[in-house]
Amino acid sequence: MQSQSSTSCPSLEGRHILLGITGSIAAYKSAVLCRLLKKAGAEVQVVMTPLAKQFITPLTMATLSKNPILVEFFDPENGAWNSHVSLGEWADCMLIAPATANTLGKMCAGMADNLLLTSYLSARCPVVVAPAMDLDMYRHYTTQRNLDDLRQHGVHVVEPEDGELASGLVGKGRMAEPEEIAAYVGHLLCEKKKTLSGKHFMVTAGATIEPIDPVRFISNHSSGKMGYAIAGELAQRGARVTLVSGRTALPCPEGVQRVDVLSAEEMYTAAVAAFREADGAVMCAAVADYTPTTVAEHKLKKGDGEMTIPLKRTRDIAAALGSEKGHRLMVGFALETDNERVNATEKLHKKNFDFVVLNSLRDAGAGFRGDTNKVTFIDCQAREELPLMPKTEVAQKIVDKIESIIK
Ligand code: C5P
């Protein structure tokens, strides 16, 4: 599994977390944990063991989770049944933090004498436990045996920390910090299947810069967001990714190897080299079609009249790679302002793409800089028009299509 060191929590938007709290002094940290999960966008339902109520009040947890707390199998006032089965079905993740030695032992033994345990036995989702106890209890062979047993059955364990314990003793047993636990859950839920491991992709992204003199240049509005999202998505699915990047302000996506370039000529050289070893390429960069014929050595001085800068054609990187692609896969982009579909289809054939991602500047929310895009996939057989969506989701759709072609 992922390392326990990263403490930034990825988005949990729309995810359902069943937060189990057991009777440990560390239950006070569950309040912060609940807030962090909510802040990351999760819906949180808290289930407490009867003893946990002695350590943190149901009122606190109900207020923070914005849901009534569940403790008993039924409400003694009106007999309303708390269904552990539907809780188990509802949850995308069951997180038990803190998890006492008692609860860990009962989980291993299959005991079901409270709602938290019956929910655990019914849960179909990943289960994460964050143990909290005194150092001797933690290192006791029964606790270690139980944790090993749970691990072997797929339960994730966020290890406790070394430090000062409530007993005054110092050692391992202090529940991990809420930030670490929330990040663990976030990474667990966003982890993708490594469907592209063993594959290598080259992605071009961002704007090129064509120098006029030491101060000025010709460029365009490309932010690089679309290409970076695709590179990140490919890497998350296990592919090796070389990102040949023009100018952007974006951080390099995790697991991606970035090669920085400036001009179209530099991008050509880097892309040709990276494509040699690749199984496919996604050509997302906004490459200048023209560059000044000469770069002035000194800053050009202004005069009274007009100025003309002679331009020459740059090399078409996509067309060059397309002519030598063989069985490799190539995806191209087309950003059009008019006659969109005809122009995009022409590019598909001319540059030997497997499919083209068309975005039109006429569509609201599509194109440069923004975080959303509205695209149409065009290949030899068909067109598929997608609705407006975040660029990260467009990237997922593009990589889904890549997978369907290379399988
Ligand atoms: O012909 P046009 O520039 O509109 O084609 C767009 C596609 O070709 C994009 O995939 C873009 O990244 C790629 N391209 C390239 N090298 C160029 C020009 C465009 O790779 N010099």
Give the pLDDT confidence of 307-359 residue by residue, as tens digits. 999 999 999 999 999 999 999 999 999 998 888 889 999 999 999 999 999 98
Is the pLDDT score of 45 beyond 60? Answer: yes
Which amino acid would we find at residue 116?
A: L
Is the pLDDT score of 2 beyond 60? Answer: no
pLDDT at 3: 39
User: How many other β-carbons are positioned within 10 Å of the β-carbon of residue 16?
Assistant: 17
Give the pLDDT confidence of 119-144 residue by residue, as tens digits. 999 998 999 999 999 999 999 999 99
Phi-psi category of residue 155: left, alpha or beta, with phi > 0 → left and psi -120 to 50 → alpha? beta
Which amino acid would we find at residue 182?
A: A
Atom 1, ligand 1: residue with shortest CA distance: 347
- Give the whole-angstrom CA distance, residue 282 versus residue 212: 29
Average pLDDT over the chain, rounded to whole? 93
pLDDT at 158: 97
| DSSP 8-state secondary structure symbol assigned to residue 238 | T
Is the pLDDT score of 23 beyond 80? Answer: yes
User: Taking the chain, what is the end-to-end CA distance rounded to the nearest angstrom?
Assistant: 26
Is the pLDDT score of 374 beyond 60? Answer: yes
Beta strands in 22-107 (DSSP E): 43-48, 93-99
pLDDT at 74: 84
How many angstroms separate the alpha carbon of residue 237 from the centre of ligand 1? Answer: 26
Is the pLDDT score of 369 beyond 90? Answer: no
Site to probe by mutation for ligand 1, drawn from 204, 228, 289, 316 as the one with most ligand atoms within 8 Å of Cβ, is 316
pLDDT at 288: 97
Is the distance from CB of 358 to CB of 352 less than 8 angstroms? no
Give catalytic residue positions.
Answer: 220
How many angstroms separate the alpha carbon of residue 299 from the centre of ligand 1? Answer: 30
Q: Is 347 in the pocket of ligand 1 (CB under 6 A)?
A: yes
% of the chain exceeding 90 in pLDDT: 81
Tokens (6 digits) for 292: 């000044």
Is the distance from CB of 353 to CB of 329 less than 8 angstroms? no
Mean pLDDT confidence for 369-381: 90
List CB contacts of 294: < 8 A, sequence separation 6 or more. Answer: 310
How many angstroms separate the alpha carbon of residue 284 from the centre of ligand 1? Answer: 8
Long-range contacts, stretch 172-177, CB < 8 angstroms, 24+ apart:
172/135, 172/138, 172/139, 173/131, 173/132, 173/133, 173/134, 173/135, 173/137, 173/138, 174/26, 174/132, 175/24, 175/26, 175/29, 175/97, 175/98, 175/130, 175/131, 175/132, 176/4, 176/130, 177/7, 177/29
Give the pLDDT confidence of 174-231 residue by residue, as tens digits. 999 999 999 999 999 987 888 999 999 999 999 999 999 999 999 999 999 999 999 9
Is the pLDDT score of 6 beyond 60? Answer: no
How many angstroms separate the alpha carbon of residue 319 from the centre of ligand 1? Answer: 8
pLDDT: which is higher, 76 or 221: 221
How many angstroms separate the alpha carbon of residue 206 from the centre of ligand 1? Answer: 12
Residue keyed to tokens 């949990």: 12
Ligand 1: which atom is nearest the Cα of residue 271?
20
pLDDT at 55: 97
Report CA torsion sign: 352, 292, 358, 241: positive
Site to probe by mutation for ligand 1, drawn from 325, 351, 354, 355 as the one with most ligand atoms within 8 Å of Cβ, is 351
pLDDT at 1: 41
List CB contacts of 364: < 8 A, sequence separation 6 or more. Answer: 374, 388
pTM: 0.68
Atom 17, ligand 1: residue with shortest CA distance: 316
User: How many other β-carbons are positioned within 10 Å of the β-carbon of residue 403?
Assistant: 15
Mean pLDDT confidence for 357-384: 86
Site to probe by mutation for ligand 1, drawn from 228, 333, 345 as the one with most ligand atoms within 8 Å of Cβ, is 333
